[in-house]
Amino acid sequence: MYSYFIEKNIEINDIYKFSKDDAHHIKNVLRLKSGEIVRLVFNSNAYFAKIGYSNKEPNAFVYDIDKTKNELDINITLIQALIKNDKFELVLQKVCELGVSNIIPMNSKYVNVNSDIIRNKKDRYNKILLEAAKQSKREVVPILADIIKLEECLGYKSDINIFAYESEFEKTNNISKYIEKGKNITIIIGCEGGLSSEEATFLKNNNFIPVSLGKRILRAETASIYALSVISSVNEVNQ
């Protein structure tokens, strides 16, 4: 069953007319027939609807509420240092599937990416998030913020604030120690070169806790996906 995020409030027994893009997707990509079921999401509420056609254009008869809630009970903010475009797109897709709430791209000392490239692709990135939210049947599309400097991370603090950092001490300071069910969390992941010692000191001095993501050295994109997997797993137990 495919999900569509819509921009209009709907109620049971309404007939919803799809946008041009969604109508094209239904007719020419999915090739849905009359009577097939889709899921419509508006303002975090989901509904079941049956496809119909009028003048060869698809519509949907809203017949029931989807009472299944697929969102986590917490907000997860990922502050991701800039990485190469293809890797950043992978991160966006996967962390959306895993339940992230906010994604904040960040410039840091070892970033080796032209920030204008990332900035100019924001529309594409939002489309990736939308498609990932549809695929994973979420009720919310994550928010992608503008690029910030590391010092601006302080404006995105949550109940729990951590950053991935590999040093001799942090190797035993695993992320799992700091994940508490029901508490909002902000996590900072560095770029391919990681965070500098000066940046780590700044974060520590501002009550961000350095954590390890395990014994192995992970690529930047893997680190974000791994961290979101751990956080989601802890919070979905007995949800």
Classify residue 191 by its DSSP letter: B
Residues 6+ apart with CB under 8 A from 117: 85
The reported pLDDT for the residue numbered 64 is 97
| b/e code 125-143 from CB counts within 10 Å (16+ = b) | beebbbebbbeebbbbbbe
CA 62 to chain centre: 27
Lowest mean pLDDT: which of 3-12, 117-126, 162-171? Answer: 162-171
Distance CA 223, CA 212 (A): 10
pLDDT at 62 over 80: yes
Q: How confident is the model at residue 238 (pLDDT cuts 50, 70, 90)?
A: low
Global pTM? 0.90
203-209 mean pLDDT? 96
- Domains of the chain, earliest start first: 2-66 (2.40.240.20), 76-236 (3.40.1280.10)
> Is the per-residue pLDDT at 135 higher than 90?
yes
Q: Average pLDDT over the chain, rounded to whole?
A: 93
Q: What is the pLDDT of residues 144-201, one digit of tens each?
A: 999 999 999 999 999 999 999 977 455 668 898 889 889 999 999 999 889 999 999 9
The neighbour count for residue 170, using CB atoms within 10 Å, is 18
pLDDT at residue 236, as a whole number: 84
